[in-house]
Amino acid sequence: MSRIHSSVTGPGRFGSLVLAAVPFVAALSLATPGLSPASAKPVAAGSAPGPDAAAFRDLEGAVAPRQAIPYSTASQRIIFRFRARRALEVEVRISRAGNGIRPGRTVRRFVTGPLRPGRWHRRDWNGLDRQSRLVGAGRYVVRVGPAGGRLRILGRSRLHGHTFPIDGTHGTRGYIGEFGAPRSGGRIHEGFDATAACGTPLVAVRSGTILKTAYDPALKGYYVVLKGRSERRTYLYAHLARPAPVRSGQKVRAGRRLGAVGQTGNAAGTPCHLHIEVRSRGALLDPAPLLSSWDW
């Protein structure tokens, strides 16, 4: 899939999501002891090529999905196999895409235990660097080769900073649902309304921490507030169909289900929709351009 969720986003103000077909190998489900987290270790830069480096050949495989978000509910899968005279330790290196043929900065590097040639092997990457920080949005290159030897490009991927909060077909309410639209009592609309069928899953736009879950019968109905990881933004999801399946203080990954689209609070009698508010250091932001960029 081209994003971390399973459903297809339908046409609306923010466009359509097209799922790109990614080559999938039959051995994806096979466990590979040599690729367990316990056996992974960083490789020092400038390591001397090992005696078996020249024996590593015929690398094939894939990186899936081709588009993802760091520290999400679905890690990127690095699938590969190679030929060699005997089992080899293999290095997997993930780097920023550079200019021309030169790779950019390396963000993560692993070395496996000895892997048998001719078999499919798998390594999952959660989008964190060696210091367990979220890597930035951008394009990345995955290289694989013998530990200490020459690495070959296995695949490329694009990482996004956020994902769309509705995991399903969605649209908008038009002017009435836009940021700043007038409301009764001299109020203005402090968020943006994205429509979807009642019960459509709502997901975390970014990994982070749940700040609050509550019920407001006058306005928000059931709602939840998420603080994004490694940023100073908060995201309020309102009019949930029922209480959010998370608790205050809980750490969540991007794509984690936070509830379902509903009509609670003052949304009764309106089309089912998500009211989302975005704040940066406490100041309200217009969510519309952000949502547009997240609808990949």
pLDDT confidence tier of residue 183, bands split at 50, 70 and 90: confident
Q: How far apart are CA 267 and CA 33, in angstroms?
A: 52
Q: Which of 256, 243, 260 is nearest to 208 (CA)?
A: 256
Residue 23 above 90 pLDDT? no
Q: Which CATH class is domain 31-159?
A: mainly beta
- Across 198-226, average pLDDT: 97
Span 220-252, pLDDT tens digits: 999 999 999 999 999 999 999 999 999 999 999
Residue 27 above 50 pLDDT? no
Every domain of the chain and the residues it spans: 31-159, 171-294
Question: What is the CATH number assigned to the segment(s) 171-294?
Answer: 2.70.70.10
Query: Are 147 and 84 within 8 A, CB to CB?
Result: no
pLDDT confidence tier of residue 5, bands split at 50, 70 and 90: very low
Span 82-119, pLDDT tens digits: 999 999 999 999 999 977 666 689 999 999 999 999 99
Residue 48 above 50 pLDDT? no
pLDDT of residue 100: 62
Query: Are 173 and 191 within 8 A, CB to CB?
Result: no
Query: Are 211 and 226 within 8 A, CB to CB?
Result: yes
